[in-house]
Structures are given as structure tokens and as C-alpha cells.
Amino acid sequence: MTQEKTNLELNAVTTVNDSVIEINELYKSFGKNEVLKGVNLTVNKGENLVILGKSGSGKSITIKCIVGLMDIDKGEIKVFGSDITKLDSVELNKIRVRIGFLFQNAALYDSMSVRDNLGFTLKRHAKDLSAEEVENQIKEILESVGLSEAIDKMPSELSGGMRKRIGLARTLILKPEIILYDEPTTGLDTITSREISELVLEIQKKYKTSSIIITHDMPCAKHTSDRIVILKEGVIHVEGTYEELEKSDDEWVRSFFI
Amino acid sequence: MSTTLTAKKENIISYLKETFYDVGKVTLFALRFFKEVIKPPYEMKEFIKQCYVIGYKSLPLVTITGFIMGLVLTLQSRPTLAKFGAESWLPSMVALSLIREIAPVITALICAGKVSSGIGAELGSMKVTEQIDAMEVSAINPYKYLVVTRILATTLMIPLLVIYADGIGIIGGYIGINIHSDVNFYRYLAQVLESITFLDIFPATMKTFFFGFFIGMIGCYKGFNAANGTESVGKAANSAVVTASLTIFIIDMLAVQITDLFF
């Protein structure tokens, strides 16, 4: 199933002003190594924003700062209008529940089965659900990522693509409004990468999510993006649609699309 | 020459700074336990699972070492006591040595090797594979789920394992005595119980709670703060054993001083 967007659809999405994430002048360094040097970024509601950049350019650090996994040096990160850098842990957790995060290697809990991986998060945030309701929700989410049969498997029994899907299912179980994907197709073969990219689009349509997708995989970027930004030397170097950036005058920008 | 001295001075200052920084981090990590342990929700299921893993699964190892401790101590002490015609004191001597010092320290050291390194490697691996981050972004407190449960389990299970090792050691002592002579078990046990007082058991048991707390805390700290990369998992496990073992000896030394002061 291919779900390529038409230019008309792309324009419709990018003209929405209702931003869910707004990053202003974000600085982050590790010792003397300044990684982010004033990143400004906005993610609009319902939009898939792809961040490109060379390895070590700070793409993953940016999304880790958005969920408060890393403290920032300077700047402002507004998620749903709240500056998460100024929130206490209770308030931050209320925001985190509304954000899903797919880690590069899925980060499934090794000691738990697929059922428990999904149920672990759900039971803690939906305490009024009965055991039967929890089970039904787990099955429903697994069905939506096409892995109903994996419910009793352990993470060690899953392939790379399956792990990514289960990771995505675990992310979706709390019905997040924003999903942050950290290299969702890295380490996967072409066909599985394509399947994951399609799943990202399906999720956007079905759950009306806004997303940031970090990737080096250009077919994935082309397939999933409404808008692309490229990070260079700690700042956003350029911004536009896939088609616009592909025809950029900047040779360095074009080099990503070869 | 002066450049070399300045460089050395800077190295020493930087080393001291790092040491103080680390001590501060460990202290904050340990203090956080007391804050988190009283706050709901309580992770009872994980706590019980950890008690099973740390306590029940250590039983075979503690049984073997406890038995050997009692047996060897009896066989080694017998010739010396025989020289002074004090062989009849053997049950009392073995029981007191085991309960007051040998069983707590040896059991704690074994648990430092098995449990502390296990926790360090497990949490280190979770850290490296971003499982701890995954919990955090799901708004689940990983400290409460992973650290509090493990520290509580070690604090509770190590004293129980030590008491168990005491019992097994005493049985080992009985078999040691019976290799050279024929002593009735009830008579042996009566002599052991006669020689043990509350003041032998209480301080020895109290220190094992501290052993347990630090075994868990050090394992968790090392794992929780593992750097990126698989190599750091091994380092976390190794460092947990070394630090926990050293801490056991330091606590033991302090416990002896405090016991001398008050009892």
C-alpha cells in the first residue's frame, strides 16, 4: 500500500499554524563540544517533520531534549504551549504521556514479553482499565502494527523489523498526540524500511499524530515527510519540502538527495 | 620542569574534583532512595520478583559456602583447641565465630559478587540499550521501578541469607566435629545455643542490613550510570563487585567499633 502525498496535500498540511512543538534558540554542549548552537524549530499539528543531518549533528539530541531526557544549556522548548525546561517532574510526565518516542533500537524491555512490554506502560497510566480491557487494547494495537501473533514472544525472538513495530505499538498504546521517531528504518532491509515508512504514514492518518522523524534513509524521508529541515553545525541550515530541497541551489543540501 | 609540575598539580586537582563530584553523585543517588521509597505507587510485584531472584536464587550458593565455612573452621580450629585441652569449647567457638563475623562477611561478599554485579550488569545493559530512557519517556519513574525495588530486596534478603548461612555453618561444624569424634547432635546444638547471647546476634544482624543496602545501592548506581557502549556494561558489573566488597569491609570495621562502644 503506497500512500504518497500530492503537493496539494503537502501545502495544506504545512500552512496550518497550530504548532505543537516550538523550539527557540536551543543550545546544548557536552564539555567543550557544542552540538546545538541555537536551533529554532516548529512542528505544526498533524505534520510529519523530517530532520536530516550528518552523523553527530545533534538530531537525536534535539528530540531527546524535547522529551526532557537531556537537560539543555539555553533556550526554550514549548510542547503544547508549555516550556518543558521549566516544568517539575510531575508536570513533565503529564506532557510525556502525550508524546510517543520510538528509539533507534526500539528499546524493548528484554525481561518482558511483548504483551508485558505494552501492558507495563498502559497499566500504569490507565489504572481504571480492567485486565480484560488492557488485554483488548494490547491486541488492538498489535493488530494495527500487523503483529498480533507476536503477543507472547520475548524481544529476543523478534527480528529487527518486528522489534521496530512492537516499539511503535508500545509508543501508540498511550495514544500520543506527538511521536518522535529516532531513525525508524536504520538497520532494516529495503522492503522492511518501506513497510515501516508506510506504517508511519498510516499512524499519522489514523491517530492524527504530529511527528518528528530523524532519519538518514532518503526513501523514508521522501515517503513520510510533509516538511524537511537539515541540521548543519548546530543550527537549522535549510527548510522545505522534499521536492524543494532536492532542487536546492546549495550543493551540500543536494548531496543528501543523491 | 615547572611545566611538568603545573601539569601534575592540575591533574591532582582535576582528580580530586572528579572524586568529590562522584561522592556527591553517589550520596544524592542514595538519598533519593529514602525519598522515593515512601512515595506511592509501590512496585510490589517487582519487589517480590527481586526478593525471589536475590534471595531464593542465591540459596544454593549460600548453602554450599555456609556449610564449607562451618566445616573448615571446625577442622582448622580443632588441633589448636586440642593442644590446650579445650576441645569441648569447639561448638561454642565455631558458632560464635560464624554468627559474629564469618557468616555475615563471607555471605555478604558472595552476594556482592553475585547480586551486585548482576544488578550492575542488568541495569547497565538497560541503560546502554535505552530501556531506562524508554521508561522515563513513558512517564514511568525508572528509579522507583528498578532501583528502589532492588535496594529494598537486597536490604531484606541479605540478612535472611546470613541467618540461613549461620544455620548451615553450624551444621557444617557438627559434621566437622564428627569426623574425629562422635558427638550427639542435640548435645552439640544445646552447647551452641548456650553460648550464644542476644548481644552476639543483634549487632551481627544489624550490620547485615547495611551490607544489603550497600550491595543493592552500589550495583544500581553503577548500572544506572553506565556510559554508552557494551564495554561499559562489563565495567559497571566489575566496578560494582569491587566497590561493594570494599564497602562491606569498611562497614564491618565500623560495626565492630560501634559494637565495642555500646555492648
Tens digits of per-residue pLDDT, A85-117?
999 989 999 999 999 999 998 899 999 999 999
Are A173 and A118 within 8 A, CB to CB? yes
In this structure, how many other beta carbons lie within 10 angstroms of the beta carbon of residue B48? 12
Taking the CA atoms of B166, B167, B173 and B177 in sequence, report the sign of the dihedral they define.
Answer: positive
Could you report the per-residue pLDDT of A235-257, keeping only the tens digit for each?
A: 999 999 999 998 888 889 889 88
Summarised one tens digit per residue, pLDDT across range B46-83 is 999 999 999 999 999 999 999 999 999 999 999 998 88
Mean pLDDT over B203-229 rounds to: 93
Q: Which residues of B touch A121 (CB under 8 A)?
A: 138, 140
DSSP A105-136: TTT--TTS-HHHHHHHHHHHH-TTS-HHHHHH
What does the alpha-carbon distance between residue B152 and residue B209 come to, in Å, rounded to a whole number? Answer: 10
Chain A residue nearest residue B133, CA to CA: A69
Half-sphere exposure of B211 (CA within 13 A, CB side): 31
**CATH number of the structural domain A20-257:** 3.40.50.300
Q: Which sign does the torsion angle of CA A77, A79, A83, A86 carry? A: negative
Percentage of chain B surpassing pLDDT 70? 99
pLDDT of residue A257: 85
Smallest CA–CA distance from B40 into chain A, residue:
A124
Q: Is the pLDDT of residue B221 over 70?
A: yes
In this predicted structure, what is the pLDDT of residue B1? 56
Alpha carbon distance B188, B183 (integer Å): 7
**Binding-face residues of B in 119-178 toward A, CB within 8 A:** 125-126, 129-131, 133-134, 136-140
What are A10's three cell numbers? 503537502
Cα angle, residue B82 at apex, residues B80 and B84 outer, rounded to 5°: 80
Residues 6+ apart with CB under 8 A from A7: A241, A243
Short-list A31, A82, A54, A83, CA closest to A237:
A54
B131 and A174 within 8 Å at the Cβ level: the answer is no
> Is the pLDDT reported for residue A13 higher than 50?
no
**Predicted confidence (pLDDT) per residue in B168-197, tens digit:** 999 999 999 999 888 889 999 999 999 999
C-beta of residue B98 within 8 angstroms of C-beta of residue B170: yes
Poorest-pLDDT segment among A34-43, B1-10, B127-136, B213-222: B1-10
| Distances, alpha carbon A5 to alpha carbons A136, A206, B4, in Å | 33, 15, 65
Closest among B240, B27, B43, B248 to B143, alpha carbons compared: B43
Interface test with B, best of A124, A125, A127 (most B CBs within 10 A): A124
pLDDT at A181 over 90: yes
State whether residue B22 sits within 8 Å of chain A by CB: no
The grid cell for A180 is 518522535
Residue A17, pLDDT score: 55
Q: Which residues of A touch B140 (CB under 8 A)?
A: 120-121, 124
| B129 closest CB neighbour out of A99, A105, A121 | A105
Q: What is the mean pLDDT of residues A187-209?
A: 89
Q: How many residues does chain A have?
A: 258
Cell 560464624, residue located: B98
* CA gap B109, B250 in Å, rounded: 12
A254: closest CA of chain B, how far (Å): 33
Contact A69 B133 (CB under 8 A): yes
Q: How confident is the model at residue A5 (pLDDT cuts 50, 70, 90)?
A: very low
**Which residue of chain B comes nearest to A93, CA vs CA?**
B139
Distance CA B16, CA B10 (A): 10
Whether B35 is in a domain gets the answer no
Smallest CA–CA separation between A177 and chain B, in Å?
13
Query: B48 by DSSP, 3-state: which?
Result: helix
Cell of B89: 569449647
Residue B242, C-alpha cell as written in the block: 569491587
Mean local confidence (pLDDT), A48-56: 92
Question: A253, A237 in Cβ contact below 8 A?
Answer: yes
As a whole number of angstroms, the distance between CA A98 and CA A229 comes to 23
The verdict on residue B164 lying in a domain is yes
Is A94 within 8 Å of B136 when comparing Cβ atoms? no
Measured from the Cβ of residue A36, the count of other Cβ atoms closer than 10 Å reads: 25
Choose the closest CB to B139 out of A107, A109, A125.
A125
In a domain, B237, yes or no: yes
Residue A83 contacts by C-beta under 8 Å, 6 or more apart in sequence?
A: A76, A77
The ipTM of this complex is 0.86
Number of domains in chain B: 1
Residue B10 domain flag: no
Residue B228 forms contact with A (CB below 8 Å):
no
Strand pairing partners for A212?
Answer: A49, A180
Which residues in chain B are closer than 8 Å to A67, comparing Cβ atoms? 137
Per the structure, the complete domain to which residue B216 belongs is given by 42-262
Average of per-residue pLDDT values in chain B = 92
The torsion of the CA quartet A194, A197, A201, A204, rounded to 10 degrees, works out to 160
